[in-house]
Structure 1
Amino acid sequence: MKPRVSIIIPAYNTSRYIKRAIESALSQTEQNIEVIVVDDASTDNTVEVVNSFTDPRIKLLVNEVNKGPSYSRNRAFKEAKGEWLALLDSDDWYAPKRLEMLLQVADRENADLIADDMYFIEEGADSPWSITVFIKHGMQLDKPKQIDPVYFVDRYLSITKPLIKLNFLVEHNLEFNESLRYEEDFILFLLCLINGARFIIVPESFYFYQIRRSSLMKEYLFYEQACKTNLYLLQQEFTQKNPQLKQTLFQRLIKMKQSRAYYRVRQSLKERGFLTALIKIVFNPNFFPALWERLPGILKYNLLYRFNINLSK
């Protein structure tokens, strides 16, 4: 029987986490699924962990060389048989009713993409933070909401992991940009909206987004790519025809430049010491607004980590 949902899991050296991701996929109350894992030439035992599962709904694809998450997802898209594509990172996991609940709303709303809120959970923690993705970005929903390109950009919703109708991508010839290792989600989801997709978000959280400690250099490279992505989008015809989208992307570019400066200074401080960091600050004035914006969050999250305080009460 044709699966209702194809769950796509790209993986690279995540043998410590992928078992939970796969188990959460197989444990969905919506059982008419397939799970496509694409190993991106891992050097650990990720492949062995995947092969330890005997469920026939799992299909493993292995890249001969490392080609990045965009290539891996696109490869899975070409193999998918489901009506819907569901994205799942190999170190994250789903709540058991995620697919069932999202599909119910998607059918009712005639959605092309549908996403839920997301829990943040620190690696090794037993429970998620009280601050979800939607709360972090000032969203208070009590019912499903259709979003447009401006809302999507303004609320940084590229972090979400929507279900996507496979036929919509095929009809509009859309896929992940394989030249990108960062911001590929942002561009694909925005292009779906530009091409007329009905993108619905729901207030409930069914996705667990694991917070792993990443290097300062990786954070810097992300924001470096984000700046380039925003400049590219600002030059596009569909942006020029939408003044509000143009303004929102410009504001996002400012934020990305500030964040880039922040991580550039932090990296210098870590590697070379205070004097070099001070020089970087002089040549990166965007550092100060980024620091000022992050300071309350740094203090708040440190309290959350260290004392397990629920700061939303």
Structure 2
Amino acid sequence: MHYENLDVIVLTYNRADYLKIALESLCESNATWRKTIVLNNASTDNTIEVVEKIIDKYPLRTIEIITNEKNLGNPGNFKKSQAIATNEYTAIFHDDDAIHPEYIDRAMSLIMDDKNEKRPVMVSGGGARLI
């Protein structure tokens, strides 16, 4: 299923090998979404090259990279992900998060289920938090 109301942000710093696996798992997802943003925390390894190769390998996926001018630390990079989130829903992953092909569809079904009296505010690998 396609979710135009979903963006995915992947946080990374100097873990290009893990990032490659994470991005490939996202690109192999059964679901599609508006765009994926890689939020690069001023990596000094080959992170940018890895992202460029993934963009070439998956031309039907919209993937962007934003590179911080300086390393903001993990909490700072996470805060920046919240600041750049502009869509109705945002999924945030880290560079070492590889997902199951059905994960996005399952998570979005929890969020978008109009039968729920309570609305989820967060969905994680362990379940959903309903309010």
Give 1:116's aligned amino acid.
G
What's 2:97 paired with? Answer: 92
Give 2:122's aligned amino acid.
L
Partner residue of 1:77 out of 75, 82, 87 = 82
What's 1:14 paired with? Answer: 15
Structure 2 residue 116 is matched with structure 1 residue 111: no
The CA distance in 2 between the partners of 1:146 and 1:43, in whole Å, is 36
Runs (5+) with no aligned partner, structure 2: none
Percent pairwise identity: 25
Compared CA separation, residues 71 and 3, structure 1 to 2 (3 A): farther
In the TM superposition, what is the alpha-carbon distance from 1:21 to its structure 2 partner?
Answer: 0.5
The CA distance in 2 between the partners of 1:92 and 1:145, in whole Å, is 18
Q: Secondary structure at the match of 2:80?
A: helix
The CA distance in 1 between the partners of 2:8 and 2:24, in whole Å, is 12
Deviations 1:95-124 (A, max 9, x none): 00101011112222322222232xxxxxxx
The CA distance in 2 between the partners of 1:29 and 1:4, in whole Å, is 16
Higher helix share: 1
In the TM superposition, what is the alpha-carbon distance from 1:146 to its structure 2 partner?
Answer: 4.8
What's 2:35 paired with? Answer: 34
In 2, are the aligned partners of 1:3 and 1:83 still within 8 Å (CA)? no
Compared CA separation, residues 113 and 62, structure 1 to 2 (3 A): same
What's 2:45 paired with? Answer: 44
In 1, are the aligned partners of 2:12 and 2:41 still within 8 Å (CA)? yes
In the TM superposition, what is the alpha-carbon distance from 1:2 to its structure 2 partner?
Answer: 7.8
Give the TM-score of the pair, scaled to structure 2.
Answer: 0.79
User: Larger C-alpha radius of gyration, 1 or 2?
Assistant: 1
In 2, are the aligned partners of 1:2 and 1:82 still within 8 Å (CA)? no
Give the TM-score of the pair, scaled to structure 1.
Answer: 0.36
Compared CA separation, residues 96 and 42, structure 1 to 2 (3 A): same
Higher strand share: 2
Structure 2 residue 71 is matched with structure 1 residue 62: no
The CA distance in 2 between the partners of 1:38 and 1:98, in whole Å, is 21
The CA distance in 2 between the partners of 1:81 and 1:65, in whole Å, is 23
The CA distance in 1 between the partners of 2:71 and 2:129, in whole Å, is 37
In the TM superposition, what is the alpha-carbon distance from 1:92 to its structure 2 partner?
Answer: 1.9
Give 2:42's aligned amino acid.
A
Give the root-mean-square deviation of aligned CA atoms: 2.3
**Per chain length, whose mean CA-contact separation is higher, i.e. which structure has more relative contact order (CA < 8 Å, sep 6+)?**
2
Deviations 1:243-283 (A, max 9, x none): xxxxxxxxxxxxxxxxxxxxxxxxxxxxxxxxxxxxxxxxx
